[in-house]
Structure 1
Amino acid sequence: MALPFTTVRDLLRFGVSRFTQAGLSFGHGSTNAYDEAAYLILHTLHLPLDTLDPFLDARLLDDEIDAVMKVIERRAKERVPAAYITQEAWMHGRRFYVDERVIVPRSFIGELLQDGLQPYVADPDQVTRVLELCTGSGCLAILAAHAFENADVDAVDISPDALAVARRNVDDYGLEERVSLYEGDLYAPLPSTRYEVIITNPPYVNAQAMQALPEEYRHEPELALAGGADGMDVVRRIVRDAGKWLTEDGVLVVEIGNERPNVEAALGGLDLVWLSTSAGDDNVFLIQAADLPA
């Protein structure tokens, strides 16, 4: 039986109702059922993602309605993040290719890179070398290359699958000459050098929180999320060795989600600077090179 839908407005209403009925979790680019439905509908119909109103009452072809319904049902039944359905994620106006080999990009460090980490980096134009650990899709490395226009960026991940996605994104942005990808465990694969800036959004979810993750997050690689009993297994190692890789006036910037109490317990005694983002003051910390362990 044909569905009684003829317009984008019809599909949008149905999508919101379907997603709400299914009890979906959001946080992979959208924060609510309306925005998620609008994004998936516009993407599926090859319409501008920032222009909904002019198309709300456009009458659709049967095959267009069918295509949108399949996407809505996949999101509702399989609880796959929307970014895996569309194979794209957006950060600060830039599009990145993603698939199930990487977590969906959503780092607050991207916000901080918009002004080149000032005032903690005095002059972004003077930065010559940047390192990103746990690069995943490569999005932060690419944003760093744009923030620090005179810098070469090294990006590391332990997953060859993730690096294949990162390579695609680096190539898409034409940054092959400035962004170098390394496979290995944190600092291990790097050539001997020093960086003015190290950024990282490492695995930091503690074991208890991993057990409570919504189904959407279980589609993402566990390797990129799980940080051990207190979430700090990788964070401790990054901070412990960062002083060997930073210049004297360099900075380390680490994203840790909702794990601030575990960070402060694990890194007690270090002078942590908590940076303000759209999520508040508890998601990203910075350490100056001079304040790192010897």
Structure 2
Amino acid sequence: MYPRQIPETRPVARLAYAACVWIVLAVWLLPVFAIMLTALRTLEDVMAGNYWGWPDRINLWGNLVAVFTQTDMLRYFLNSLIITLPSTALVLILSTMTGYVLARHRFPGATLLFATFIAGNFMPQQVFMIPVRDLMVSLGLYDTFGALIIFHVAFQTGFATLFMRNFIAALPNELFQAARAEGASPGQVLVQIVVPLVRPALAALSILLFTFIWNDYFWAIVLTQTDAVKPVTAGLANLRGEWASSWNVISAATLFVAIPPVVMFFLMQRHFVAGLTMGAVKG
């Protein structure tokens, strides 16, 4: 059941609800605000314990320069792009093809196969840490881009297939009947009919996949060892010193790392909202 809307005849309840929303939003954004504030500080300001006060001197540019001159963050950034972009593209292709087959073709075991995709989403990925690592070592892929790409494609395809199958199943049957009557092959139906109609869903899914893969930290430290292949999440952890840490530089690097998912979301915001609401209204 969906929560009922608070009627306008209860202004106190509406005001209290709005106040609670703003309070929750402020608490949720508090860590982000702390990072942004720390990124403005100098190292002396951080060491002096001025964590929440206004910085004595704005040093954002100096911190950003330190990120690129004193650390390997640019290499980590490029590594993340090398891992995230092909992984996202492969998952989109595989999930669209699999979702189309499961939604529009009946064959023995289809329900069991779809249930397997769903069940895989409930398995915590951490339980596969040792088997996946041993598999990558035995294949000679440990500490390579291929290990992370293969893992993300394998483990994100289940969720993406569930996502795409539901969208494709909501398409009108008349479209597929007309395509078959015209002699279109299943591949032509997929490319010329299904893909154009589910573009909003693909846009929404691409944003989710990009964010999931870009922000992954656990598997970044399980399947990589050297700085040559580490993504930004593991690279940020390397910025911490053994005895002391330049938290102002780390905070500036964190803001830099957060730019690609944020930019991608705002560039595709219209498609993202359309994809999430696709099929919500019938008529």
Say yes or no: TM over 0.5.
Answer: no
- TM-score, normalised relative to structure 1: 0.22
Of structures 1 and 2, the larger Rg is shown by: 2
- In terms of fraction of residues, the more strand-rich structure is 1
- In terms of fraction of residues, the more helix-rich structure is 2
